[in-house]
Amino acid sequence: MKAGNPQALFQHLIVLCKEVSEGEYRDMGELFELTKAQLYPPLVAELAESFGMMTVRLEAREYLLEEVITDLKKIQQELAAAKEALARENVSLKHSLKRSLQPTQILGASAAILYLLKKIDRIAGTPVNVLITGETGTSSLPVPVSPVMRTFTGETGTGKELVARTIHDKSARRGRPFIALNCTAIPESIFESEIFGIEKGVATGVEKRIGKLEQAQGGTIFFDEVGDMPLAAQGKILRVIEDRQVERIGGRTSIPADVRILAATNRNLKERIAKGIFREDLYYRLNVVNLHIPPLRERPEDISLLLDFFSERGARMMGRTPISFSPEARERLGAYSWPGNVRELENEVERAIALASGREIGGGDLSENVLGSSPEENLDSLLPPVKRAERLLLEKTLRSVKGNKSEAARLLGLSREGLRRKLLRYELK
């Protein structure tokens, strides 16, 4: 640009300034050239210098703004991570609060419970997955006279979650979360998002949610009623076990999953495998160790211990003075078959305490379920402990051989006539 034509210089300066105002700095060299007062009119040089300084300041502000935006993004990421950690901690605190009103240990002095506790002690410190069951009509205890066939069907109310918590509390993961969930309580439509989490924006209005597996990071997750887990989710759980990675729905990255998996069921999983509604490979992954919880009717000697615990806790929860059970009430409770197992006993005790008018609960204060059960329904529990055990053994053996009395007599070390007399004694066919 020549200095001889001031009008042309001003016009060029206007074009440069317009470009600067629009954020286009292509001709900055020309702008700074015009600041040379020895070559151009002083007014042009002064205006060019002013616009040049404005441009420098704008560039500096844009640079600072980019730094601020970068810092804000970093803070946003840190806040998101803190929010996730807080969510996990919140879940853990909720479970801890819930546990404050739960038994802190497995209660029982029967041989079956003592055997179970020994097994828990052996496996708690290992990383193996555990399948917890409450078998119907069979025992996990060694039976020297009868090799009884095991099934893997379970009963509700036997305390499977308490066993899972005990394993967690005895393991190196005890300081980390214990997440328990019932597979039957989660609708299939949201099951995977609950377990694996979901990213924001997967669908309209969907917010980011941390799944149960992430919430259990470093700790233990317990799948109760695992036999009812949706088939599609079973495959993903299998991948979590094998790869130790979890991926949120809609996510593009895998998240390390340092989680021990415990499971429980009241279903016959082998039957469900045969029907194609439970994965066989997942079954073997979960059932590395099987823990059997005997139903309450098979360990009547534990009823009194459980009764005392639930009575003390129930009175404390309801703000009542300690309430005792009369000998008659204890006898009736001990004679009942408890089809709902420990959970039914707990509910029975809480009901009795809530309705109690004095400091002692008599036999007549119990529910109709306990008082109104027929002798036929409770024949097992009305028998003395030794005879009860004998009758139970006869039932198990007959069931294992599908009613073949000759084979049952052989396994029990009895003659055919001896077996017949015992069956008549206990009104068994």
pLDDT in tens, 395-428: 888 888 888 888 888 888 788 877 887 888 777 7
The residues facing 379 across adjacent strands are: none
Considering only residues 19 and 319, tell me which one the structure prediction assigns the higher pLDDT.
Answer: 319
- For residues 410 and 146, the answer to whether their CB atoms sit within 8 Å is no
> Would you say 139 and 294 are in contact if contact means Cβ atoms under 8 Å apart?
yes
Q: Report the pLDDT averaged over residues 255-262.
A: 92
For residue range 228-245, what is the model confidence (pLDDT) as tens digits? Answer: 999 999 999 999 999 999
Length of the chain as a residue count: 429
CA–CA distance, 33 with 39 (Å, rounded to integer): 9
**Tell me, what's the pLDDT at 376?**
47
Q: Cβ atoms within 10 A of the Cβ of 359, count?
A: 11
Closest CA to 28 of 7, 53, 60: 53
| Cα atoms in the Cβ-side hemisphere of radius 13 Å centred on 122 | 10
Res 172: pLDDT: 93
Which residues, at least 6 apart from 281, have a Cβ–Cβ distance to it below 8 Å? 238
Q: Can you give the residue ranges of every domain in the chain?
A: 1-100, 106-294, 299-378, 383-425
Indicate the average pLDDT of the chain. Answer: 79
Strands 245-246 and 255-256: antiparallel
State whether residue 29 is helix, strand or coil. helix
Name the CATH topology of 299-378. Helicase, Ruva Protein; domain 3 (1.10.8)
pLDDT at 11 (0 to 100): 74
Tell me which residue of 253, 256, 174, 186 sits closest to 214, measured CA to CA: 256
Q: How many secondary structure helices (H) and strands (E) does the chain include?
A: 18, 9
* Dihedral angle sign, alpha carbons of residues 147, 152, 154, 158: positive
Nearest CA to 143 among 288, 292, 244, 42? 292
Residues 6+ apart with CB under 8 A from 268: 151, 152, 153, 227
Q: Is the pLDDT of residue 113 over 90?
A: no
CB atoms within 10 A of CB 49: 16
Prediction pTM value: 0.58
What residues contact residue 400 under an 8 Å CB cut-off, 6+ apart?
138, 146, 147, 148, 149, 411
- CATH (residue range 383-425): 1.10.10
Q: What angle do CA 108, 113, 115 make, to 5 degrees?
A: 145
Q: Tokens at residue 278, please?
A: 């439970």
Q: Which band of pLDDT confidence, cut at 50, 70 and 90, is reported for residue 225?
A: very high
Burial class (CB in 10 A: 0-12, 13-18, 19+), 373: middle
CATH superfamily of 106-294: P-loop containing nucleotide triphosphate hydrolases (3.40.50.300)
Task: Tell me which of 63-77, 85-99, 252-266, 353-367 is least confident.
Answer: 85-99
What pLDDT score does 111 carry?
A: 85
Please, are residues 234 and 248 in contact by the beta-carbon 8 Å criterion? Answer: no
Span 294-329, pLDDT tens digits: 888 888 889 888 999 888 888 888 888 888 899 998
Distance CA 131, CA 239 (A): 18
Alpha-carbon separation of residue 356 from 308, 309, 321, 334, 373 (angstroms):
16, 17, 11, 20, 22
Task: Supply the DSSP symbol for 209.
Answer: B
State the DSSP code for 189.
Answer: G
- Between 137 and 211, the higher pLDDT residue: 211
